[in-house]
Structure 1
Amino acid sequence: MKLAVVTAGLTQPSSSRLLADRLAEAVTAQVEAEVRVIELRDLAVDVANAFVTGFPNTRLREVIEAVTGADGVVAVTPIFSGSYSGLFKSFFDVIDNTALEGTPVLIGATGGTARHSLALEHAVRPLFTYLRAVVVPTAVYAASEDWGGASDDFTDGLGRRIARAAGELAELLRHRTPKAKAGEEAEEEVVPFEEQLAALRPLIQ
């Protein structure tokens, strides 16, 4: 299994990356998967050039193939002005709108205050629904107060949400057939000619 983790945090260290890492760890604790972390901040110029030129360069194309070829995706964005970041949206805009069809996706977001948490439902979830992905029911939002060092209602609540969302994604991954690697075609089952002929005999008689 391949799990692509896309994070759109702009700073280093980033709370979006921290949330993405915790989500990925919770998923891989339940299902074995190869994790590829993609920091969109490193691809900002490549994404902008893709809009100007009309096609992605080699580096961006490789990242897009990693995301669209993954068996599952964890996508985390910071919330700005009540919605996903421009970089987050721009990256998924350069992906073909059918490339994530049927792919399980766990969405997460971070922000300075909990009042932005609904952005996951009115902005992020509809984006992946449009891309025909299968978005898990639980979305995970982490406000600044969720990162407290002591054990409290805020911190424990975040941990429970992460565990629940990761469990939902892991369950979907368990029931998927791993995608073929890039450049490989899925092998078709070869039915021996004798078996094909035997199946036709009742129809001929």
Structure 2
Amino acid sequence: MIRPLRTVIVNGSLHRPSRTQVLLDALRDSLNDHLALHVHHIELVNLLPELGAALSTDALPTDAQHAIKAIENADLLIVGTPIFRAGIPGLLKHLFDLIDMNALNGTPVLLAATGGSQRHALVIEHQLRPLFSFFQSLTLPIGVYATPEDIHDGVITSDALQQHIQRTINLAVPVLQGVQARLLQDTAVTQEQAA
């Protein structure tokens, strides 16, 4: 029996509500149409102000330490962030500075971002993808980017964005099915060894 993927959704927004959360929810729902997911949400805004002052995980409160462990133990990460002045929030980068550098090796990561205009769309390729390449993660083929014209009052109103989300999910699903199959195989091997 295939177990649900332990999916951790990281919202790098410092605001609530946020367009980034709307985009992340849409990605989660679209993926859930194809795969069984066990979802854990991490919102950066909930980790303030202690996160910014911490230089190690030992200095974090319990909730933030649990967030770090959830990220490190995920089968799948979905990471979304707003873009400010052509960059990701410093606190989101700091969160990943506290992640063990070997914990995300081979972990699939779906990247998403929101920004004020299309001028920021390449931040996914130039900042997020290199960050997860450092961790030797498997960044999924297409990132998803949205502007204020795509999301109104907490709802995706752009057909183009909806189509892009579906195209992204269609490319991600075969990879994630392979991850599920590998996890099933690893579980079977572990059970055989224990018997």
TM-score between the two structures when normalised by the length of structure 1: 0.81
Quote how far apart the aligned CAs of 1:133 are.
0.6
What residue number does 2:159 align with? 156
Quote how far apart the aligned CAs of 1:44 are.
2.3
Q: Output the CA distance in 1 between the equivalents of 2:170 and 2:69.
A: 25
Number of equivalent positions: 184
Q: Say whether the 8 Å CA contact 1:106–1:139 is kept in structure 2.
A: yes
What residue number does 2:61 align with? 57
Which of 152, 175, 178 matches 2:178? 175
Q: Output the CA distance in 2 between the equivalents of 1:14 and 1:191.
A: 47
- Percentage identity across paired residues of the two chains: 34
Superposed CA deviations along residues 71-111 of structure 1, whole A, max 9, x for unmatched, are 10100010011011112111111101111110000000001
| Secondary structure of 2:190's aligned partner | coil
Superposed CA deviations along residues 89-144 of structure 1, whole A, max 9, x for unmatched, are 11111101111110000000001111110111111111111111100110100011
Q: Say whether the 8 Å CA contact 2:104–2:137 is kept in structure 1.
A: yes
Quote how far apart the aligned CAs of 1:46 are.
3.0
RMSD: 2.5
* Shift in alpha-carbon separation, 1:94–1:42, aligned structure 2, 3 A: same
What residue number does 1:123 align with? 127
Which of the pair has more CA radius of gyration?
1
Which of 18, 22, 25 matches 2:22? 18
Q: Say whether the 8 Å CA contact 2:57–2:65 is kept in structure 1.
A: no
What residue number does 2:43 align with? 39
User: Are residue 96 (structure 1) and residue 127 (structure 2) matched?
Assistant: no
What residue number does 2:169 align with? 166
* Shift in alpha-carbon separation, 1:118–1:86, aligned structure 2, 3 A: same
Which of 71, 75, 97 matches 1:71? 75
| Secondary structure of 2:110's aligned partner | strand
Unaligned runs of 5+ in 1: 180-185, 193-205
